[in-house]
Amino acid sequence: MSSTMTATDPKDRDTEHAFARLAEPLRREIKLHCYRMLGSMHEAEDLVQETYLRAWRSFDSFEGGSFHAWLYKIATNASLNAIESRRNAQRLLPDQRGPAITEMPDGGPATDVAWLEPYPDSHLDGVADDAPNPEARYAAREAVQLAFVATIQQLPPRQRATLLLCDVLGWSATEAATLLGGSTASINSALQRARETLGKRYPEGRPQLTPKPTLVQQQLLGRYLKAWEGHDLDGFVALLKEDATYTMPPWRQWYAGRDAIRVFFATAWQACRGMRLVPTSANGQPAFAVYARTDADPRLTANAIHVLTIEHDMIASLTLFLEPALFSAFGLPLVLPEDTDGRSHSTSHHAST
């Protein structure tokens, strides 16, 4: 609990302990809910702090019932207010904003665009993998996949909240109407429209559930690491599906197809003077934290977080988040220490989630 909630007398301390007992076990799932609403890990962290501060200040007015639902109401309304205050209500990925290109990008990254951010799997610890009740359409790990979070960012905020409450958390339309305001009929209507939008992205009705990597997929991830660290372009491209996609926020440009991705990296890798990959995981998917050397800096410095989608034992999509500030959320340093032989301690582990 933050210092702003510190109690001073025994009665207040009892209230503080009661609040902490109810609220603290829910902190990670509230943060995940805010992330799904906002598409931003950093904004979600701020919203969790705001939610818990609001809840603490109003705790005396809590009249019993479901504390879980009461806290979600505060978090959802805080998220809706945060979205309303934005210049742009959507955090998307580059492939949602324009067509793929084949030439090398010109100019610089789109620093004026707030892009979708990845979510470290370490922050999912303690959040149930399965749907919370039979009414939920999506299991928790399905509903945190990068493509799913990106897709729901295209929904109007109220539809987004309705879908998350009903289809991810398993609330009834009546319960969602109590939280969001309005009638049960309006909630059902919003939910139907949201489902129609998701149906365009998921014709089978749901994202593909991503299980723990199989032995074959673990071997694929190991080959990916070796290809990148060895600048083995042929080895890297051989791991891609023919129709694989590659996005690299904050750059607007993105690429579709193995050939276009190959052409891009044949040029892009010329600027690198060595890379090291640290296996991690994000959004329930395999990921790597990549450190690179350049002519300007011979150290291995934070470069990008790679998030991979694997289908049929091949890489279907690759998203490179070229934002070193993300590394701290993954518990990783900005500069990678090295052994005397130049090899990082951190990359000796097998690539796995």
Angle between helices 173-180 and 67-85 (to 10 degrees): 60
Torsion of CA 289, 45, 69, 13, to 10 degrees: 120
Q: How many CB atoms lie within 10 A of CB 63?
A: 6
Residue where the block lists tokens 């990670």? 28
**pLDDT reading at 204 higher than 90:** no
One-letter amino acid for residue 143 of the chain = A
CB 334 within 8 A of CB 316: no
User: Does 93 map to a domain?
Assistant: no
Q: What is the CATH number of the domain that holds 196?
A: 1.10.10.10
User: Does 106 map to a domain?
Assistant: no
Do 308 and 229 share a domain, yes or no?
yes
**pLDDT reading at 346 higher than 80:** no
Q: Give Cα 69 distance to the centre of its chain.
A: 23
> What's the pLDDT band for 271 if we cut at 50, 70, 90?
confident
Do 204 and 224 share a domain, yes or no?
no
Q: How many CB atoms lie within 10 A of CB 200?
A: 9
Percent of the chain with pLDDT over 70: 89
For residue 250, whether the previous peptide bond is cis, meaning omega lies within 30 degrees of 0, is yes
Instruction: Give the separation between CA 288 and CA 275, rounded to whole angstroms.
Output: 12
Return the pLDDT at 132.
Answer: 63
**pLDDT reading at 203 higher than 60:** yes
Among residues 180, 209, 238, which one ends one of the domains? 209
Domain of 169?
117-209
Count of helices and strands (H, E) across the chain: 11, 6
Return the pLDDT at 129.
Answer: 63
Do 257 and 318 share a domain, yes or no?
yes
Do 168 and 252 share a domain, yes or no?
no
CB 301 within 8 A of CB 292: yes
Instruction: Give the separation between CA 337 and CA 324, rounded to whole angstroms.
Output: 16
Do 17 and 55 share a domain, yes or no?
yes
Return the pLDDT at 342.
Answer: 41
**pLDDT reading at 341 higher than 90:** no
Q: Give Cα 236 distance to the centre of its chain.
A: 24
pTM exceeds cut of 0.75: yes
The predicted-structure confidence for 45-57, as pLDDT tens digits, reads as follows: 999 999 999 999 9
CB 293 within 8 A of CB 275: yes
3-class SS at 237?
helix
The overall average pLDDT reported for the chain is 89
Do 234 and 181 share a domain, yes or no?
no
Do 200 and 220 share a domain, yes or no?
no
User: Does 353 map to a domain?
Assistant: no
Instruction: Give the separation between CA 343 and CA 346, rounded to whole angstroms.
Output: 9
> What's the pLDDT band for 61 if we cut at 50, 70, 90?
confident
Q: What backbone torsions phi and psi does residue 298 show, to the nearest 5 degrees?
A: -75, -10
- Mean local confidence (pLDDT), 330-337: 95
Q: Which of 307, 300, 302 shows the shortest CA–CA distance to 331?
A: 302
Greater model confidence, 5 or 212 = 212
Do 341 and 228 share a domain, yes or no?
yes
Q: What is the CATH number of the domain that holds 66?
A: 1.10.1740.10
The predicted-structure confidence for 163-187, as pLDDT tens digits, reads as follows: 999 999 999 999 999 999 999 999 9
Return the pLDDT at 350.
Answer: 38
Q: What is the CATH number of the domain that holds 232?
A: 3.10.450.50
User: Does 190 map to a domain?
Assistant: yes
Residue where the block lists tokens 């990296």? 265
